[in-house]
Structure 1
Amino acid sequence: MNRLRRALLAALVTAAVAVPVSGAVRPEVPAPEPVAFSASAGPEARYAANRANAREAARMAEASGDHRRAAHLRTLARPDRRFLTFDGRGAGRAVEVLGDLRKAEHLAVLVPGSDTGLDTYERFRAGAAALHDRLGRRAAVVTWLGYDTPGTVAPEVLTTGRADDAAPGLTRLVGRLKAYNPRAHVSALCHSYGSVVCARAAGEGLDVGDVVFFGSPGTGAATARDLGTPARVWAGRGGGDWIARVPHVSVGLLGTTVGFGTDPVAPAFGARRFEAGDGGHSDYLKPGTRSLKSIGRIVTGDTDA
């Protein structure tokens, strides 16, 4: 069985290397430098400055002929959008707050998986909005598009390289959130390849009370204890999620380690399991789903149910 799994994983790597990925490398579009803030800058000042940056990025994209990107950026620049950070260059970076960051009792930080950038950001944000609607005014949800996500069909999605680069930024963000609101309970919600990012950050001092893996290909750790975090570790997978068919092994190949080891929902991993219903890989935060209800309860601490 192990030999078969290794062969399947090697075949997946070969396909990832050989198959062209449209949009994996986005042509550069002119955009302003991200705004530099002092350490004392409050959320409101960041929101206003980053909306202005998004408006300028939209103007520059329109002038360069990239009308689709310009339309996306104009949406992000609306008066009701609140970005702690924003960078319109390349695939883009963004950290947005839904809710009142300073008054929330609970903060949920969403960490995305592959193929997430400014061009697909609204799809990512829709899950955050659904979660915030469920949680209500007691909570705020933060979308962390803070790293260059790998393509779904690309070699990088099978190794920890992108996660290694991303983890320090996630740790810094959580530190900033806790400085704004020291009383809030913070949860890291980690989808797909985002699980690998959260796992790396957990071992580097990610200051959260809960780490939640869903749609995860693995974390790179053999067990939850190996993550090296005092946080409670949760895992769930929908019945229709194709990620279940990915071999949960870790193999040395071409000078690197490919794959992420133990399945987080397996008893051997040792995470707390939560009900994720029958949804597919992109359904965990859809309104009305069992998975959204479960994740909401984890964020608020209502886990006896």
Structure 2
Amino acid sequence: MERVRSVADLDQLCRHFRRELIELLHSKGTGHPGGSLSCVELLTALYYEIMRVDPKNPEREGRDRLILSKGHAAPILYCVLAEKGFFPAAELTTFRQTGSRLQGHPCRHKTPGIECSSGPLGLGLGAGLGMALAEKLKKSDARIYVVMGDGEIQEGAVWESAAAAAKYRLDNLTAILDFNGVQLDGTLEEIMPPGDLTKRWEAAGWNVVNCDGHQISQIIEAIRIAGECKEKPTIVIAKTIKGKGISFMEGRHQWHGKAINDEEFERAMQELGIERGEWNGGFHS
């Protein structure tokens, strides 16, 4: 699929990804719907309007790189990568099956388009730091993007990496925080209140940009601002909703990793505006 330009087209693509995600997770009876739905617009904006990547040559020198540090959102990343052309869309039917390249968390060694294996939370920013340093040493203009979960930033390794990125003035590194306020077994406020994240990241030496993580135009503008910042890494704090688009999933930690049953699938598809006749084929053929 070619690069999409209009916000309306990108919004339509997000609707397609939500439908595909729900079909995929329902058909396999597994996966992580909540955190995948919250970052649909983030990944769509990155792959279709911002990043320089080549599905025909995934290892091209000088490419931009994305690390999905919140690796449990792998199913939505797979949907985006397949649509982009990194591997056949038909391969999505093998998700989390024995021998598949598309496992529950991304694997750098198996899947085209995956830049870093992830799963254990807190590691992605450190990997991004290393990649950004390497590109600086090569005098490359490639940019590194790290998508993190908000529960993930409770990990100390995140703040160690943040300090190092500020020390080395890595203005080619952009972290994007999927700030949906809900983690595996509760809200952030219940488990570990994050405080004023803008002030915390500014105190760590980072440039901070806030945006609505479900508004494509705001995401694009926030990342444009990040690209213009010099001598500092940038974090885009994107306010999102866990389970976005499905009313009974929105804001509920129970949908972090819950399987979708038949009744829930029908209700979700109706809320996405998908008629019953459109369910035929795809993952249910």
Global fold match (TM > 0.5): no
**Higher strand proportion, which one?**
1
- TM-score, length-scaled by structure 2: 0.35
Ranked by relative contact order (alpha carbons within 8 Å, sequence separation 6 or more), the top structure is 2
- TM-score, length-scaled by structure 1: 0.33
**Higher helix proportion, which one?**
2
Q: Which has the larger radius of gyration?
A: 1
